[in-house]
Amino acid sequence: MSNENISLLIEELAFAYPDGNQALFGVNLKISKGERVALLGPNGAGKTTLVMHLNGILSTLHGKVFVAGKLVDSKDKEGLKQIRSKVGIVFQDPDDQLFMPTVGQDVAFGPYNMGLRDAELDEVVTQALSMVGMLEYKDRPPHHLSFGQRRRVAVATVLAMKPEILVLDEPSSNLDPASRRELAEILRSLDITIIMVTH
């Protein structure tokens, strides 16, 4: 496998929290472009800690993380900005990601901060909301939506950034069977690397 086909490469990643809790021990992982991977483990196994290293939310203490061949380095602010545009993370609770007055503004937030404006921004928002079947809710407040709808909007906020890697932390938790099927269909339609964290 050539290096240009590698989406994510983790080498000997180890991490301990300030309280001494060792969350990761020498993790090695290689994920190819377009691959779909599930990270499985019980609560407290370090899955979310690992995810937070993928775009520099947590700094590596030992080991290395590469996204599309670029080292994730929390000291390299410009490089981190590029990494964060490539790795989109959908957190377990959509309310951790939705904070704007309307659904459309939530989806526009990331692309706006990356410099998109006017018609280009509107197009990205429309496309992302259409991909998750939520375009008709563009002008609604997110807190007026069901949990499953908020989860889809959270996915749209990340898709609007056009990531190369989509990471979903416990994507089906608190979803009814119909919402799980809808989310599965959305994920099947995407032509990007997907990492799902679950237990």
CB of 63 closer than 8 Å to CB of 10? yes
159 has pLDDT over 90: yes
User: What does the pLDDT read at residue 47?
Assistant: 94
The CATH number of domain 94-197, selected from 3.40.50.1010, 1.10.3720.10, 3.40.50.300, 3.30.70.580: 3.40.50.300
Same fold, 6-86 and 94-197: yes
2 has pLDDT over 70: no
125 has pLDDT over 80: yes
Instruction: Tell me which CATH homologous superfamily contains domain 6-86.
Output: P-loop containing nucleotide triphosphate hydrolases (3.40.50.300)
1 has pLDDT over 60: no
Residue 149: band (very low, low, confident or very high) from pLDDT cuts 50, 70, 90: very high
152 dihedral zone (left: phi>0; alpha: psi -120 to 50; beta): alpha
User: What does the pLDDT read at residue 50?
Assistant: 96
At a CB cut-off of 8 Å and minimum separation 6, what does 2 contact? none
10 has pLDDT over 50: yes
Domain residue spans of the chain? 6-86, 94-197
199 has pLDDT over 60: yes
pTM above 0.85, yes or no: yes
* DSSP state letter for 20: S
Sheet holding 165-169, edge to edge: 36-40, 193-198, 165-169, 87-90
For the chain, what is the largest distance between any 2 Cα atoms, rounded to a whole number of angstroms? 49
Q: What is the mean pLDDT of the chain?
A: 93
pLDDT in tens, 60-104: 889 999 999 999 998 899 999 899 999 999 998 999 999 999 999
User: What does the pLDDT read at residue 110?
Assistant: 94
